[in-house]
Amino acid sequence: MLRSGFRKCSSLRFLLTPSSERQFSAQTGSKLEGKVALITGAASGIGKETARKFINNGAKVVLADIQKDQGHETALELGPNATFIPCDVTKESEISQAVDFTISKHNQLDIMYNNAGIACQTPQSIVDLDLATFDRVMAINVRGVVAGIKHGARVMIPRQRGVILCTASVTGLMGGLSQHTYSISKSGVIGIVKSAASEMCQHGIRINCISPMAIPTPFVIDELKNYYPGVDYEGLVQMVHGFSVLKGAVCEPSDIANAAVFLASDDAKFISGHNLVVDGGFTSFKSLSLPTP
């Protein structure tokens, strides 16, 4: 009886209209079935978790990262639907090659996720800002994103469809959450997405970004170690989780990966030029702590 039911379900799939098939995919956890994605900064952290979620939802993923050993390990861990290619996003030629590699391997690119980025150790005061460091961060966090959008669009425009995603940050929305260089770079990402959306919409291509709250990924923990050298790993994790204002919840890589799956899927087919803030309400209000009488 179970086998008979399974055969009926399998046969039903071929009778579905495109609209009902999207609903069927959503119900079975395959929102990205048949899609191909390229994710930069995918060897660890948010990029790795997003790759995992994409694959679990039916996509094939090319992981691009400057961390070669870790990138190969991540691809092996994620299985046959993951492939790694070394990529330094400060070099436009390597982003272009990553896009071309994806096309040569899978004959299509449906999702371009510009996730690669770095934090930086710079003084808190603008007066002491090291412009050489500023240029390096902008080369990765901003110029690298622009190059990713450029070459993703290059192969998507002829097909008149596709999805481009970028990782921004809540630090690009509010001042004082990070030192100037990082905040400026992430504010730039949000602006780039809004600017590019005006052109991409003419080609049926959606472009959006995600602004996460702080997450205790290796990226964040390594940065905090420089500011709090005497605090151990668990202490740093608790410090990051302490930023949450939503009772009973903390921001995790899976939250950002779930947001990326949503924006990449047909569930978000009418969303473009949007910055999806995943912060548990942190940037939505400022509470007033009144003095006790």
Active site residues: 182
| 222 Cβ contact partners less than 8 Å away, ≥ 6 residues apart | none
| 61 Cβ contact partners less than 8 Å away, ≥ 6 residues apart | 36, 37, 38, 39, 42, 51, 54, 55, 78, 81, 82, 83
- Alpha carbon distances (Å) from 116 to 48, 129, 145, 245: 11, 23, 8, 27
Q: Is the dihedral of CA 67, 73, 76, 77 positive or negative?
A: negative
What letter does residue 290 receive in the DSSP assignment? P
Query: What's the per-residue H, E or C state across 186-241?
Result: HHHHHHHHHHHHHHHHHHCEEEEEEEECCCCCHHHHHHHHHHCCCCCHHHHHHHHH
β-pairing, 162-167 with 205-212?
A: parallel
* Angle of helix 144-156 versus helix 180-200 axis, rounded to 10: 20
Structure-derived torsion over alpha carbons of residues 8, 11, 12, 13, reported in degrees to the nearest 10 = 130
What phi, psi does 28 have (nearest 5°)? -95, 5
